[in-house]
Amino acid sequence: MAAMYRKAPKLHFWCKFAPQVLQARCASSNVVGQSTKRAAADERAARQEASLSLVQRCKNLLVANWRGQLTTITTSTTTNGADPEASKVWGSLVNYTLVAGKPVVWVPRNDAHEVNLLMDDRGSIVVGHTDPPPLVHAWRDVGFVPPRAVLLGPFTPLEPHEQEYVKRRVLKARDSNREGIEKAGAALRSVLQEAGRSASSRIHALSTMAEASTTDFAIYRCSPRSGQFVDLLGVRHEVAVSDIAGAATDPLCSVLAALFEGINQSEARRFALIVFCAVYLQVRAQDAYMFAADRWGFNVLAKVVPTNESVALDTNNKLWKEFRFGFSREVRDAEAFCSLLAEMEKESLEAMNRAQEVDPKFHEHTPKPKTET
């Protein structure tokens, strides 16, 4: 998929032994092996479930990330006079944090955003399409852009006393994040070891924001007037900003980017995602990536094995589909999340063994994941 990620080994089997550790729902409208009536019912259920979770997905994206694209309206000063061909907006990546449900952004001094916001305080911030970079590149290689949250509203500069309060909040978040990683249990630590620098990227960004000098950065608060969730197909869904602010903060958010890197960088764990698709969803997949997770489950982008030659000749990105795995119980933290994934891997392996008991030649068609070095 992308050169930054090693290719997961293929799985050539169709397993019908579905464990009960989770209740899996498919977010795709085209599920192999279902009757038309059942497929239609599942599609309606998937749409209903997705509509209920949009607010939480927006909140998770906003809390888990620390970089976003800030866009402001340009002025004649920043667009070289009255040139009609000049861009009407100016966009760049900035660091941000969420305080009381509102984004607070750090803008470098002398940046065009400063002048723009002085003349017109309207702007927007888009979050979710920048980190972790290897996963973003992987998405683009197959013609998709990661799901993202968009907030639009006025941006106002913070007063000095407000800046100090925000920086204290940032320091508290950084210290909590650092402590959580240092005290991680065996299951979480095993995943974070595969994440490389992503495990500390959030901590470094929070430190940079907390220690930023007012001579180097201007700090603005966005008071959102409207919000949107953009799904993997690029469809925009309106979301009430008051609902986003009031939504619960998911316990996985502080290490979410590192979790994705740790899972997607690991060939064995990517192979496990392929097995999950087969065992829990009865879907044959050639490759899979985790891109969203929360206390109730996780989402996978999987390359489905074509069912016939005409599909195989179709465009590549149509073979990639989103699948939702919903847990049968809520997890309290990232350690419990990783432990449940390990439990799923174990039960999936048991399901494969049961399939082998039914068909003794089963193992001959089931390649093992490669040993990582």
Cβ neighbours around 118 below 10 Å, total:
12
The reply to whether 52 and 64 lie within a common domain is: no
Q: Check whether 8 has a pLDDT greater than 60.
A: no
Tokens representing residue 22 in the block: 């989770």
Q: Which of 26, 89, 2, 115 is nearest to 300 (CA)?
A: 26
Give the pLDDT confidence score for residue 360 in this predicted structure: 59
The reply to whether 235 and 298 lie within a common domain is: no
The reply to whether 87 and 194 lie within a common domain is: yes
Give me the percent of the chain exceeding a pLDDT of 70.
Answer: 75
Give the pLDDT confidence score for residue 306 in this predicted structure: 80
Domain range enclosing 356 = 22-56+256-365
Give the pLDDT confidence score for residue 349 in this predicted structure: 81
Give the pLDDT confidence score for residue 46 in this predicted structure: 45
For 158-213, the DSSP string reads PPHHHHHHHHHHHHHHHHHHHHHHHT--HHHHHHHTTTTTHHHHHHHHHHHHHT--
Least reliable range by pLDDT among 32-36, 143-147, 273-277 = 32-36
Highest mean pLDDT among 15-29, 123-137, 262-276: 262-276
Q: Which residues of 5-22 are buried (b: 16+ CB within 10 A; e: fewer)?
A: beebbebebebeebeebb
Q: For the domain that residue 209 is a member of, what is the CATH number?
A: 2.30.110.10
- What angle do the packed helices 256-264 and 133-141 form, to 10 degrees? 60
The reply to whether 44 and 119 lie within a common domain is: no
**What integer is the mean pLDDT of 92-108?**
95
φ/ψ (deg, to 5) at 199: -65, -30
Q: How confident is the model at residue 51 (pLDDT cuts 50, 70, 90)?
A: very low
Cα 240 → chain centroid:
20
Tokens representing residue 201 in the block: 């990227």
Q: Check whether 42 has a pLDDT greater than 60.
A: no
Least reliable range by pLDDT among 54-63, 310-319, 342-351 = 310-319
Give the pLDDT confidence score for residue 307 in this predicted structure: 73
Tokens representing residue 285 in the block: 């997949």
The reply to whether 130 and 89 lie within a common domain is: yes
End residue of a domain, out of 191, 215, 249: 249
Angstrom CA distances, 235 to 71, 147, 181, 188, 278, stand at 20, 10, 35, 34, 28
Residues 6+ apart with CB under 8 A from 134: 2, 4, 5, 261, 264, 265
Number of domains in the chain: 2
Domain for residue 7, yes or no? no
Domain for residue 11, yes or no? no
**What integer is the mean pLDDT of 129-157?**
83
Q: Check whether 5 has a pLDDT greater than 60.
A: no
Residues in the chain, total:
373
The mean pLDDT value of the chain amounts to 80
The reply to whether 65 and 48 lie within a common domain is: no
Domain for residue 188, yes or no? yes
Give the pLDDT confidence score for residue 38 in this predicted structure: 45
Domain for residue 352, yes or no? yes
Give the pLDDT confidence score for residue 99 in this predicted structure: 92
Q: What is the pTM of this model?
A: 0.79
The reply to whether 122 and 108 lie within a common domain is: yes
Give the pLDDT confidence score for residue 35 in this predicted structure: 37
The DSSP call for residue 4 is: T
211-236 pLDDT, tens per residue?
Answer: 999 999 999 999 999 999 998 888 99
The reply to whether 178 and 240 lie within a common domain is: yes
φ/ψ (deg, to 5) at 227: -140, 155
286-339 pLDDT, tens per residue?
Answer: 999 999 999 999 999 999 988 765 555 555 556 888 899 988 889 999 999 999
Do 17 and 279 touch, CB atoms closer than 8 A? yes
**What integer is the mean pLDDT of 163-178?**
94
**Which residue has better confidence, 6 or 302?**
302
Give the pLDDT confidence score for residue 95 in this predicted structure: 96
For 219-267, the DSSP string reads EEEE--SEEEEE-TT--EEEE-HHHHHHSPPPTTGGGHHHHHHHHHS-H
Tokens representing residue 75 in the block: 């002025």
Q: For the domain that residue 33 is a member of, what is the CATH number?
A: 3.20.180.10
The reply to whether 243 and 100 lie within a common domain is: yes
Which 3 state secondary structure label does DSSP give 22?
Answer: strand
Helices (H), strands (E): how many in the chain?
11, 12
**What integer is the mean pLDDT of 358-373?**
50
End residue of a domain, out of 209, 225, 249: 249
End residue of a domain, out of 222, 249, 276: 249
Domain for residue 216, yes or no? yes
Domain for residue 76, yes or no? yes
Domain for residue 287, yes or no? yes
The reply to whether 70 and 217 lie within a common domain is: yes
The reply to whether 267 and 287 lie within a common domain is: yes
Q: Check whether 20 has a pLDDT greater than 80.
A: no
Do 103 and 68 touch, CB atoms closer than 8 A? yes
Angstrom CA distances, 355 to 107, 342, 350, stand at 57, 20, 9
The kind and range of the H/E element at 104 are strand 102-108
Cβ neighbours around 23 below 10 Å, total:
12
Domain for residue 2, yes or no? no
Give the pLDDT confidence score for residue 78 in this predicted structure: 53
The reply to whether 243 and 299 lie within a common domain is: no
Give the pLDDT confidence score for residue 148 in this predicted structure: 92
Q: How far apart are CA 230 and CA 250, in angstroms?
A: 20
Give the neighbor-by-neighbor strand order of the sheet with 285-294: 22-25, 320-327, 297-304, 285-294
